Amino acid sequence: MRLLPWPKRLRSLLLSCKDKSSLAKTHALFILTGLLTQGSFNAQLIASYARVIDVVSARQLFEEMPQRGVDVWNAMIIAYCRKEYPDEVIRLYRQMILEGVKPDSSTFTVALKACARTFDLKTGGEIWSKAMDYGYECDVFVGSSVLNMFAKCGKIDEAAVVFDKMPKKDLVCWTSMITGFIKSGRPVEAVEIYRRMQKEGMKTDGVVMVGLIQACADLGDAKLGLSVHGYLIRRDHPMDVVLQTSLVDMYAKTGQLELSCRLFNKMTYKNVISWGALISGYAQNGFARNALEMLVEMQSYGLKPDLVSLVGALLASSQVGSLKLGKSIHGYIVRSLILDQVSGTALIDMYSKCGSLSCARALFDRINTKDSIFWNAMIASYGIHGHGKEALALFHKMTETSLKPDHTTFASLLSSFSHSGLVEEGQYWFNLMVSEYKIPPGEKHYAYMVDLLARAGLVEEAYELISSMGTEPGIPVWAALLAGCHNRGKLLIGEIAAKKVLELRPHDMGVYALISNFYAIAKRWNEVASVKNIMKKTGRKKVPGYSVVEVNGKLHSFVMEDNSHHQYKETLQFLDKLDHEMRIMQHVPETGPVLHANQVE
Stretch that binds DNA, among 93-101, 306-314, 378-386, 577-585 (CB under 7 A): 306-314
Which H helix or E strand runs over 44? Answer: helix 42-51
CA distance 363 to 346: 11
CB closer to DNA out of 243 and 453: 243
User: Can residue 285 be called a binding residue for DNA (CB under 7 A)?
Assistant: no
User: Can residue 339 be called a binding residue for DNA (CB under 7 A)?
Assistant: no
Q: How far is the CB of 161 from DNA (least distance, A)?
A: 17
CB closer to DNA out of 309 and 356: 309
CA 209 to mean position of chain CA atoms: 20
List Cβ neighbours of 140 (8 Å cut-off, separation of 6 or more): 166, 168, 169, 170, 173
Kindly report the length of the chain: 601
User: Can residue 78 be called a binding residue for DNA (CB under 7 A)?
Assistant: yes
Q: How far is the CB of 295 from DNA (least distance, A)?
A: 10
Number of H helices, E strands in the chain: 33, 2
CA distance 601 to 599: 6
Q: Are β-strands 546-551 and 554-559 bridged in parallel, bridged antiparallel, or unpaired?
A: antiparallel
Which of 62, 80, 275, 395 is the binder for DNA (CB under 7 A)?
A: 275
CB closer to DNA out of 349 and 527: 349
Q: How far is the CB of 218 from DNA (least distance, A)?
A: 9
Per-residue binding string, DNA, 96-125, x by CB under 7 A, is: --------xxx--xx--x--x---------
Which of 140, 226, 239, 339 is the binder for DNA (CB under 7 A)?
A: 140
CB closer to DNA out of 148 and 319: 148
Please, are residues 244 and 263 in contact by the beta-carbon 8 Å criterion? Answer: yes
CA distance 285 to 308: 16
Stretch that binds DNA, among 208-216, 405-413, 443-451, 485-493 (CB under 7 A): 208-216
Please, are residues 494 and 462 in contact by the beta-carbon 8 Å criterion? Answer: no
CA distance 24 to 19: 9
Q: How many chain residues are in contact with DNA, going by CB under 7 A? A: 51
CA distance 70 to 43: 9
Which of 24, 97, 272, 339 is the binder for DNA (CB under 7 A)?
A: 272
CA distance 185 to 179: 10
CB closer to DNA out of 173 and 485: 173
Stretch that binds DNA, among 145-153, 229-237, 517-525, 579-587 (CB under 7 A): 145-153
Which of 48, 57, 254, 280 is the binder for DNA (CB under 7 A)?
A: 280
User: Can residue 343 be called a binding residue for DNA (CB under 7 A)?
Assistant: no
Which of 13, 35, 171, 222 is the binder for DNA (CB under 7 A)?
A: 171
Which of 48, 123, 144, 254 is the binder for DNA (CB under 7 A)?
A: 144
User: Can residue 548 be called a binding residue for DNA (CB under 7 A)?
Assistant: no
Q: How far is the CB of 138 from DNA (least distance, A)?
A: 13
Phi-psi region of 405 (alpha: psi -120 to 50; beta: other; left: phi over 0): beta
Which of 208, 459, 501, 515 is the binder for DNA (CB under 7 A)?
A: 208
User: Which residues does residue 558 pair with via DSSP β-bridges, in sequence order?
Assistant: 547
User: Can residue 241 be called a binding residue for DNA (CB under 7 A)?
Assistant: yes
Please, are residues 379 and 415 in contact by the beta-carbon 8 Å criterion? Answer: no
User: Can residue 88 be called a binding residue for DNA (CB under 7 A)?
Assistant: no
User: Can residue 48 be called a binding residue for DNA (CB under 7 A)?
Assistant: no
User: Which residues does residue 547 pair with via DSSP β-bridges, in sequence order?
Assistant: 558
Which of 226, 242, 339, 496 is the binder for DNA (CB under 7 A)?
A: 242
Positive or negative, the Cα torsion across 348, 351, 357, 358? negative
CA distance 112 to 145: 6
Stretch that binds DNA, among 223-231, 276-284, 396-404, 528-536 (CB under 7 A): 276-284
What angle separates helix 222-234 from helix 241-253, to the nearest 10 degrees?
150
Please, are residues 389 and 381 in contact by the beta-carbon 8 Å criterion? Answer: no
User: Letter for the amino acid at 280?
Assistant: S
Binding site for DNA (CB under 7 A): 74, 78, 81, 104-106, 109-110, 113, 116, 140-141, 144-145, 148, 152, 170-173, 175-176, 179, 205-208, 210-211, 214, 217, 240-246, 249, 271-277, 280, 306-309
